[in-house]
Amino acid sequence: MAVVTWFGWMWWIRRLGTLPDQQLAALVSGPYRQAIVWHWEIIGLILPLVLLATPLGGHELSRWVAGVGILWGSYAIRYFVVVGGQSLSRSGAGYLKPVIEPDVIWYSGFSFLFLIGLLALLMLLMNYNLDDRPSLKEGEAK
């Protein structure tokens, strides 16, 4: 879903967006392209898919690594959209060097901790008691 949204959004702003949208698309597909490929597409998308879609997905550690990769990729997209927005100049002449202020770092840290806390709360609320599941006896349909 994220891939379709991202590439659909990029297609739309390259062709139908306003001038600042097209500048952001040029920035994302230009100087920030390699960082986006590594942080979002490989760490946040391909690695979790490989870990979960192969027999490695049965291991507890690979599921945790996939979860961390997904969180990393989603945070990387947020970071690159913020930094990309700060890199665009109003005149459209070149790119500015983004300067992340301490307030943004604190906000990002607290939003990340809130996300982790929310995920921990959801895990506590879910019933993981596998002993209560009915087991199939030999000869029953699966």
pLDDT interval class at 137 (50, 70, 90): low
What single string gives the DSSP state of each residue in the chain?
-HHHHHHHHHHHHHHHS-HHHHHHHHHHTTTTHHHHIIIIIIIIIIHHHHHHHSGGGGSHHHHHHHHHHHHHHHHHHHHHHHHHHHHB-SS-SSBPPP---HHHHHHHHHHHHHHHHHHHHHHHHS---GGGSPPPPTTS--
pLDDT at 10: 79
Residue 88, SS3? strand
Residue 62 lies in a domain: yes
pLDDT at 98: 66
**Model pTM score:** 0.58
| 135 vs 84, more confident | 84
Q: How far apart are CA 95 and CA 99, in angstroms?
A: 12
pLDDT interval class at 19 (50, 70, 90): confident
Q: In which domain, by residue range, is 25 found?
A: 2-126
pLDDT at 126: 73
Is residue 136 pLDDT above 60, yes or no? no
pLDDT interval class at 142 (50, 70, 90): low
Residue 133 lies in a domain: no
pLDDT at 58: 79
Residue 27 lies in a domain: yes
| 87 vs 136, more confident | 87
Q: What is the pLDDT of residues 21-73, one digit of tens each?
A: 787 788 778 788 888 888 888 888 889 888 888 888 778 888 888 888 888 88
Q: How far apart are CA 138 and CA 97, in angstroms?
A: 66
Please give the tally of structural domains in the chain. 1
Residue 6 lies in a domain: yes
Q: What is the pLDDT of residues 84-113, one digit of tens each?
A: 777 776 666 666 666 667 787 787 778 778
